[in-house]
Chain A
């Protein structure tokens, strides 16, 4: 795993990434303006598909973290590694470049992140809700300020 960390540092060096080993993945954190360039270089290295696209809402820090987990099908050496490409964006203006043209596999996953967090993926070919109805998607259910009212058993 440490060899790949070095390789990633070399390949993405001029984008100032923070590369570190996580539990079950290698984390690559870049600035949101350099996300597309980083994705292109990962694709060149052989990371040919993404497994998840998601976000985490850090309400206290007023930020979203947008996360792509990329891996490889065709390159058997890379297949066992997961690269977590992530970036932080402001919570009041959640916009980030779409990577759907680089990784086609991200298309439906970006749509899902769009409806659940209200993150606008610039340049996405078909950005509309996929699982939710429009009325529910407008509320962005996975944001931390969306509170689920749960009924108690004895009420």
Chain B
């Protein structure tokens, strides 16, 4: 039996292309340990990156075009597919934009319920990001722990909305379900557990000398550069800019709540890791406050009840569940253009909705936080070694399904 095996001279994807003296082109991805698919084409001199070209679009679904062929209410479950863990945050500005066009404001209880789910989503989204960050750095404990703890908040969301992910909770006019019985006790348990866990994350991950060596002074984004590149969310706050839509332009019930937005001056990958931990703490505080301050009342706008048949009212009074009336599918939105934004887990998400007094929108424009953060790869990565790339990628919490839309 022959022991020689024939190795093909060129395996696809393995060939290095020499593009100049000592300059090689390397394709990283679309298969890599991160979440979803995304490729970065880098040009290296030795192992120093001289040029990086992010290649997006592997999970693109043309949501903006699909939205033009759907009724207004059906766009909420469509847009949720961007970031299923962060479903309430990512669709809230769309709902707000439609409400602006219809000139209605949700009742106060609905506003608090929306904030409640938004913060549960934010915690889950940050935990997911921390897990991916851990696996990028080869820290498998930091991968397992947040992914396990995320389950606590996914189940909390399930209790509130009936769905683990893609809740379709906020709809134009209010929310789909009222607070279930016993939710406050469950939420308090989850909050107490998470505070304890965050302390353990610090001990095993952030205070770990190996992790610190890999993150400190890596991928520094200065304050002015961050503003110029227009990056969003925890990344811009780690660069010394206090910018959070919840404070800049408070929406829903955020102006009635007391919370801090953490800001770091360093702008490196380590600051971006810390800021997520502190934001989880703040979100846990908000969850407690919301449950304390929750006003009584209907979770849907009175216009909704005026059109609902008696049976629907009965279902609501007995089970506190809003059943969507068929009329809702034929929602006609007055002509005009509205712009709305919210702070999602990964940063600011903006929507522009244009209606021409029809059942379907004329144009829906959405820009997700990850798409705006993608520019970091082009402008920050060059100058670093290849080994630093996973640290930078993980630290900006880039999420391809959200970026590609």
Contact = CB atoms under 8 A, between A and B. Distances in A.
B336 A23 contact: yes
Interface in A39-94: 48-52, 54, 56-57, 67, 69, 73-74, 76, 79-80, 82, 84
B400 to A, nearest CB: 11
A54 B366 CA distance: 10
Contacts, number: 99
Contact of B350 (A69, A129, A131, A150): A69
A148 B404 CA distance: 19
Interface centre among A52, A73, A129 (most CB of B within 10 A): A73
B229 A150 contact: no
A48 B241 CA distance: 13
Contact of A48 (B62, B228, B354, B374): B228
Given A48-B227, A52-B352, A104-B229, A84 B65 contact: no
Given A73-B241, A84-B339, A49 B227 contact: yes
A24 interface: yes
B374 A108 contact: yes
Interface string A122-155: 0000000111110000000110001010100000
Contact of A23 (B57, B339, B375): B339
Interface in A15-42: 22-25
Contact of B340 (A24, A56, A104, A130): A24
B64 A23 contact: no
A132 B60 contact: yes
Interface centre among B97, B230, B350, B352 (most CB of A within 10 A): B230
Interface string B210-254: 000000000000011011111000001000011100001100000
Question: Which of B100, B224, B350, B404 has the largest count of A CB atoms less than 10 A from its CB?
Answer: B350
A73 to B, nearest CB: 4
Contacts of A25: 339
B175 interface: no
Contacts of B62: 141
Interface in B371-405: 371-372, 374-375, 379, 404-405
| Interface residue tally on B, bucketed by range | 35 or more
Interface residues of A, number: 38
A103 B372 CA distance: 13
B64 to A, nearest CB: 6
A12 interface: no
Nearest to A107: B375
Interface string B357-380: 000001101010001101100010
B226 A73 contact: yes
B374 A24 contact: no
B227 A130 contact: no
A103 B339 contact: no
A23 B338 contact: yes
Contact of B354 (A52, A56, A129): A56
7 contacts: A23-B336, A23-B339, A51-B367, A56-B363, A104-B375, A105-B228, A141-B62
Given A73-B243, A131-B405, 8 more contacts: A23-B97, A51-B350, A52-B365, A69-B339, A73-B241, A108-B371, A116-B64, A130-B57
Interface of A: 22-25, 48-52, 54, 56-57, 67, 69, 73-74, 76, 79-80, 82, 84, 103-105, 107-109, 116, 129-133, 141-142, 146, 148, 150
Interface of B: 56-57, 60, 62, 64-66, 69, 97, 100-101, 223-224, 226-230, 236, 241-243, 248-249, 336-341, 348, 350, 352, 354, 362-363, 365, 367, 371-372, 374-375, 379, 404-405
